[in-house]
Amino acid sequence: MHMLVCGGTGCRASASDMLYENLSKEVQEQGLQEDVQVVTTGCFGFCEKGPIVKVIPDNTFYVSVEPGDAREIVAEHAVKGRRVERLLYVDPVNKEQIADSKGMGFYKKQIRIALRNCGLIDPENIDEYLAADGYEAMGKVLSELSPEEATQEMIDSGLRGRGGGGFPTGIKWQIASKVPADQKYVVCNADEGDPGAFMDRSILEGDPHSVLEAMVINGYCIGATKGLIYIRAEYPLAINRLKIAIKQAREYGLLGKDILGSGFDFDVEIRYGAGAFVCGEETALIHSMEGERGEPTFKPPFPAQSGYLGKPTNVNNVETFANVPVIYNKGAKWFASIGTEKSKGTKVFALAGKINNVGLIEVPMGITLREVIFEIGGGIKDGKKFRAVQTGGPSGGCLTEKHLDTPIDFDNLLAVGSMMGSGGMIVMDEDDCMVSVAKFYLDFTVEESCGKCSPCRVGNKRLYELLDKITKGQANKEDLDNLRNLSMVIRDTSLCGLGQTSPNPVLSTMDNFMEEYLSHVEDQRCPAGSCKELIRYEIIPENCVGCTACARNCPVNCISGERKQLHTIDQSLCIKCNACLEKCKFNAVAII
Amino acid sequence: MTSIKLKLKESDVQQLKKVAKSFNNEPGELINVLHKAQEIFGYLPAEVQEVVAQELNVSVAKVYGVVTFYSFFTMLPRGRYPISICTGTACYVRGAEKVLDEFKRLLKVPVGETTPDGKFSITCLRCVGACGLAPVVMVGDKTYGRVTTDGVKDILKEYEDVE
């Protein structure tokens, strides 16, 4: 029997490491070391109910497990063969207990290719990766295929870059392979800066060898012998697991000189980012690896022609690489059979926000937003109404009800004014003000703009100021026109992808939620009740019972009233902290 | 570049020189050297940057340019218990702003600064990737999930008697 304990960052934050220790200790105390193996794995994806423990072979899926539950799991499940019912997942809709993860709505529609090993193998043990067909693709490519044949297989698969741009991976490799040079580089972009997206981190934490294997294949195809992984310093666990993986792969002769006796040399080094969103852009990333400020430069020349240290460089993102070994193992044809006409395979999304099942999912291209949000995601939290879904992070847009049945792929998302991006998917409900959301993203862009070109540096700041004016009820209709015009200018004149896409959150919310902008401007009203300057808290006399809860919790003592008497709020002192509304049990505080 | 005002202890300078040497005094290793330096000193004051510049044979302006470009590097000392509030999108829509306001109100310092006793500092960070636990707050290496405005004072309380 195997007990798989999630060791991803999310579950670690909920003490899954202590849980692992307790389980191991219990197994020892019961003398079950021979029969029960406790294993730390990568992310299962179902972060909402972490920490997760999965028991195989019977596939029992325990959720929200605490370190103190270890004794019961071992005593009941391992010794007596009985499931611990209270730790099983309960379907939020029909209230049924589900023991086997395959029966959960969250997993039913998923196809896991990039995440195939996450939550299944111990990422710190190369033998487990090898047992899961690991390094088989590399062996096949190095011994049976020429670099041209291997590149052609990648082109035939139709895989497109998963970092955001969606450029065909095989074509990118082919371009780099044709540039003659004494030294070329393969770079893995693990600078995941998109707030709300954590797929690359999860892959590196859960299955680091798949990325290393793909980099070797990539090196063989383009004629590079050096690989660099550019990773955020904010991801200590992923860095640690990568280091272990590189060491193990070297010991097994899967990295280094003359790999598997093929005569091909390839080795990998880690480079650290230092927190700059723009470094996700490949030219900026390369400058950062060279020890410079991470400012992008104009393309062409493309990195494939002149990249790291002026040498031809192929940059792919973590998720793209994680797909590569499977394509060689199962064939380009198989991969191309999944997905839509122009977007093949699957995409990993980080589903978060006001949704029941927050987590990491991998779905075939062409699935609809409705399926993702309401079937996999289990619908909106607290039974509220769906408002919008934001895809593509700060470069993407907010999509609404009318887009729910759009099949998700690179081109469809672009057509409706958003983009795939790296795969963040944030769901918003009726309480979220779309103007504030646009302002939130602009705040991010202003902070992360590298400052090199003025449309992005100055323009985004002005966009932010306009949005700020709107959320404070100080804007007029002319400001709305300026907002749109300025957005277009920034989009058309910025140097790199960051500036070219930064107005997307503004434009898409203006397109889809214009009435909300108008309420702010014409009526000085925030329909979602979230813009502080445009709302006030009032006590509803017929509901107030005079329990004093609001007055006791008001941090500025602006609520007065005797026990069992109607309370009142002094508007001149109120800081709109929402404490009274949260504390009132009688629905007697309302936002007007 | 010859006359560095030595506020750093000689041993600190030696330590920095050793770090630079371990990267072959290569200008291209500037970011890696700064990572190590920040690990040692906790922050990167001007004096540290001057030594790094000298050792890698680049201008102080360049080092300063790099330090200020990347948000991971800081020129101000952090508190003994650095508080980082995640302001990624998932945390934002689940109320991170209110949590941040509460920390600012209770500690009476703005974002980016340290309390006068040097105990706490407040910074914002973008997404630690624990979106299932949003909103998330980190104090040092410890992660707190699903933090409410009420929960803020409980978090601070944990550090009340530790010293």
B143 and B86 fall within a common domain: yes
Across the interface, whether the CB atoms of B126 and A276 are under 8 A apart is answered no
CB B133 to CB A47 under 8 A?
yes
Is A108 among the domain residues?
no
The CA distance from B161 to the nearest CA of chain A, in Å, is: 23
Do B64 and B102 belong together in one domain? Answer: no
Tell whether B107 and B147 lie within a shared domain.
Answer: yes
Structural domain including A518 reads: 434-522
A270: closest CA among A283, A258, A255, A260?
A255
Contacts of A284 in chain B (CB under 8 A): none
Inter-chain CB proximity A234 and B89 less than 8 Å = no
Residue B37: inside a domain: yes
Separation between Cα atoms, residue B45 and residue B67, nearest integer Å: 10
B111 & B147 share domain: yes
- CATH number for the domain including A373? 3.10.20.600
Best A12, A17, A47 member to test B by mutation, with max B CBs in 10 Å, is A47
Which long-range contacts link B35-43 to residues 24+ away (Cβ below 8 Å)?
Answer: B35/A233, B35/A272, B35/A274, B35/B72, B38/B72, B38/B73, B38/B74, B40/B15, B40/B16, B41/B12, B42/B77, B42/B78, B43/B74, B43/B75, B43/B76, B43/B77, B43/B78
In a domain, A273, yes or no: yes
Do B28 and A290 make contact, defined as CB atoms within 8 angstroms?
yes
- The residue out of A52, A70, A103 marking a domain boundary is A103
Predicted local distance difference test score (pLDDT) of residue A194: 82
CB contact under 8 Å between B31 and A291, yes or no, is yes
Rounded to whole angstroms, the Cα distance separating B46 from A570 reads: 49
The CATH number for A234's domain is 3.40.50.11540
Confidence class for position B3, pLDDT limits 50, 70, 90? very low
CA dist., res. B77 & res. B117, Å (int): 12
Please give chain A's pLDDT, 592 residues, in tens. 999 999 988 888 889 999 999 999 999 999 999 999 999 999 999 988 989 999 998 899 999 999 999 999 999 999 999 999 999 999 877 888 999 888 899 999 999 999 999 999 999 999 999 999 999 999 999 999 999 999 999 999 999 999 888 999 999 999 999 999 999 999 999 998 788 888 999 999 999 999 999 999 999 999 999 999 999 888 888 999 999 999 999 999 999 999 999 999 999 999 999 888 999 999 999 999 999 999 999 989 999 999 999 999 999 999 999 999 999 999 999 999 999 999 999 999 999 999 999 999 999 999 999 999 999 999 999 999 999 999 998 889 999 999 999 999 999 999 998 999 889 999 999 999 999 999 999 999 999 999 999 999 999 999 999 999 999 999 999 999 999 999 999 999 999 999 999 999 999 999 999 999 999 999 999 999 989 899 999 999 999 999 999 999 888 899 999 999 999 999 999 988 888 998 899 999 998 8
Mutate to test the interface with B, among A6, A11, A12, A14 (most CBs of B within 10 A): A14
> Could A276 and B98 be called an inter-chain contact, meaning their C-beta atoms sit closer than 8 Å?
no
Count: domains in chain B? 2
Between A194, A275, A577, which is nearest B72 by CB?
Answer: A275
First to last CA, chain B: 41
Q: Can you give the CATH number for the domain in which A27 is found? A: 3.40.30.10
Contacts of A367 (CB under 8 A, 6+ apart): A109, A407, A408
Query: Distance (Å) from the C-alpha of residue A141 to the closest C-alpha of chain B?
Result: 34
Residues 316-375 on A with a CB inside 8 Å of B are 350, 352-354, 358-359
Q: Cβ separation of B134 and A352 shorter than 8 Å?
A: yes
Measured between alpha carbons, how far is A523 from A13 in angstroms, rounded to an integer? 44
Q: Are residues A192 and A308 in the same domain?
A: yes
Are B85 and B40 found together in one domain?
A: no
d(CA A526, CA A534): 6
The reply to whether A527 falls in a domain is no
Beta-bridge mates of residue A35: none
Put simply, the chain B residues between 104 and 163 with a CB less than 8 A from any chain A CB are 105, 125-134, 136, 143, 145, 149
Q: Kindly state whether residues A240 and A261 are assigned to the same domain.
A: yes
Structural domain ending residue among the three candidates A369, A399, A429: A429
What is the DSSP pairing of strand A313-317 with strand A185-190? parallel
Question: For residue B27, is pLDDT > 60?
Answer: yes
Note whether residue A505 is domain-resident.
yes
Q: What is the ipTM of this complex?
A: 0.86
Domain-embedded: residue B163: no
Kindly state whether A586 is in contact with chain B, defined as any CB-CB distance less than 8 angstroms: no
Distance from C-alpha of B61 to C-alpha of B59, rounded to nearest angstrom: 5
**Is there a single domain that holds both residue A492 and residue A556?**
no
Cα A529 to chain centroid, rounded: 28
**Based on the domain organization, do A370 and A299 belong to the same domain?**
no
Q: In this structure, are strands B81-86 and B137-139 parallel, antiparallel, or unpaired? A: antiparallel
- Please report whether residue B5 resides in a domain: no
Looking at the fold, whether B91 and B154 belong to one and the same domain comes out as yes
Q: Are residues A569 and A549 both part of a single domain?
A: yes
Does B7 reach chain A within 8 Å, measured CB to CB? no
Chain A residues with beta carbon closer than 8 angstroms to that of B89: 195-196, 352-353, 390, 393, 424, 426, 440-441
B86 lies in the same domain as B153: yes
* Same structural domain, B18 and B58: yes
With respect to residue B4, please indicate whether it lies within any of the assigned structural domains: no
- The answer to whether residue B35 sits within a structural domain is yes
B138 vs chain A: nearest CA distance in angstroms? Answer: 10
Question: Does residue A531 lie within any of the structural domains?
Answer: no
A498/A541 same-domain check:
no
Q: What letters, b where the CB count within 10 A reaches 16 and e where it falls short, cover B101-119? A: bbbbeebebeeebbbeeeb
**Could you please report the per-residue DSSP string of A178-206?**
HS--S--EEEEEE---STT--HHHHHHHH
A404 with A442, same domain: the answer is: no
Q: In sequence order, what are the residues at sequence separation of 6 or more whose Cβ sits closer than 8 angstroms to the Cβ of residue B50?
A: B1, B4, B60, B63
- Please tell me whether residues A331 and A357 are part of one structural domain: no
Q: Is residue A552 part of a domain?
A: yes
CB–CB contact B89 A48 (8 Å): no
**Do residues B33 and B55 both lie within one domain?**
yes
Residues A473, A555, single domain; the answer is no
Cα separation, A373 vs A397, in Å, equals 16
The answer as to whether A116 is a domain residue is no
- Residue ending a domain, choose from A522, A545, A575: A522
Q: Which residues pair with B68 in a beta bridge?
A: none
B126 vs A201: CB contact, 8 Å cut-off? no
Location of structure tokens 């990998």: A268
Instruction: Specify whether A473 is located in the same domain as A542.
Output: no
Which of A237, A272, A308 has the most B C-beta neighbours within 10 Å, making it the best mutation to test the interface with B?
A272
Distance from CA of B55 to the nearest CA of A (A): 14
Q: Which residue of B has its CA nearest to A350?
A: B131
Handedness of CA B88, B92, B95, B96 (dihedral sign): positive
Q: Same domain for A509 and A547?
A: no
Q: B87 with B55, same domain?
A: no
d(CA A527, CA A385): 14
Residue pair A462/A389 in contact by the 8 Å Cβ criterion = no
A530 residue type, one letter: S
Structural domains counted in chain A: 5
Q: Assess whether B58 and B115 both reside in one domain.
A: no
Structural domain including B35 reads 10-69
- CB A350 to CB B131 under 8 A? yes
- Residue A195 touches partner B, C-beta closer than 8 Å: yes
Which region, left, alpha or beta, applies to residue A190 given φ > 0 means left and ψ of -120 to 50 means alpha?
alpha
Where residue B150 sits, what CATH number does that domain have?
Answer: 3.40.30.10
In a domain, A121, yes or no: no
The CATH number linked to A556 is: 3.30.70.20
Contact A217, A139 (CB under 8 A): no
Give yes or no for A275 touching B (CB within 8 A): yes
Per-residue confidence at B2, pLDDT binned at 50, 70, 90? very low
What does the alpha-carbon distance between residue A79 and residue A30 come to, in Å, rounded to a whole number? 8
> A244 and A355, same structural domain?
no
Out of B42, B69, B96, pick the residue that ends a domain.
Answer: B69
A424, B89: Cβ pair inside 8 Å?
Answer: yes
Mutate: best of B44, B62, B66, B89, partner A, most A CBs <10 A: B89
Residues in chain A within 8 Å Cβ distance of B130? 9-10, 13, 47, 198
A13 touches chain B (CB under 8 A): yes
Q: What does the pLDDT read at residue B46?
A: 93
CATH number at residue A475: 1.20.1440.230
Helix (H, G, I), strand (E, B), or coil: what is residue B47?
helix
Model pLDDT, residue B76: 87
| Angle formed at CA B33 by CA A278 and CA A187, multiple of 5 degrees | 45
